[in-house]
Amino acid sequence: MPFIKTDFPDLVIFEPRIFEDDRGYFYESFNANTFVEAGITRPFVQDNQALSSYGVLRGLHYQVGDFAQAKLVRVIQGEVLDVVVDIRPDSPMYGKSFGVVLSEENKKQMYVPRGFAHGYVVLSETAIFFYKCDNFYSKESEGGLLFNDPKLGIDWKIDVEKAILSEKDVIQPLLGEHREFF
């Protein structure tokens, strides 16, 4: 199976098999049967793509209630540090973060189950970030955590004082003051 388990229940890294030769490469970035065999059965219903430059930090975001989302995230061009925080109240990993570098070179993907706040920072000159969602976006169901919450202790691998953030991301609440996932 091309899935690597993490210490977080249901959070996995997907490493596709890559076929390279003098023409370039080929790989299967998604196959529903492969994911179902790994226990990931909800269908994806929305694809999103974002282009960002070095230092752009997006997150930490999530959706609540009926609009909660699982995501399959990857980088098409460039490199990012992808970070999640477990906000499932009954999880043994509640409030803990996990990060992995996703890049066009390593072609890794991360399956982010429902109940995680998600964000990323661009480490290359530019990056194209792509993700599948198993539920539709709802503005009324948005939640977030402050990216530099000291309780989370996330090392974003850049000088966060120079991070490029949206107005929304600089005013997100701290862990414990955030909108509950359920």
Report residue 169: phi and psi, to 5°.
-75, -20
Residue 131 is among the residues annotated as catalytic for this protein: yes
- Which residue out of 62, 120, 131, 178 is catalytically annotated? 131
- Reduced to 3 states (helix: H, G, I; strand: E, B; else coil), residue 84 is strand
What CA–CA distance (Å, rounded) separates 120 from 2? 23
What CA–CA distance (Å, rounded) separates 172 from 146? 5
What CA–CA distance (Å, rounded) separates 53 from 76? 14
Report residue 32: phi and psi, to 5°.
-55, -40
Among 120, 68, 70, 114, CA closest to 90:
114
In Å, how far from its chain's centre is CA 20? 27
- Which residue out of 54, 61, 111, 178 is catalytically annotated? 61
Sequence-distant (≥ 6) Cβ neighbours of residue 92 within 8 angstroms: 9
Residue 61 is among the residues annotated as catalytic for this protein: yes
Per-residue tokens: 33 = 């049967």
Active site (catalytic) residues: 61, 131
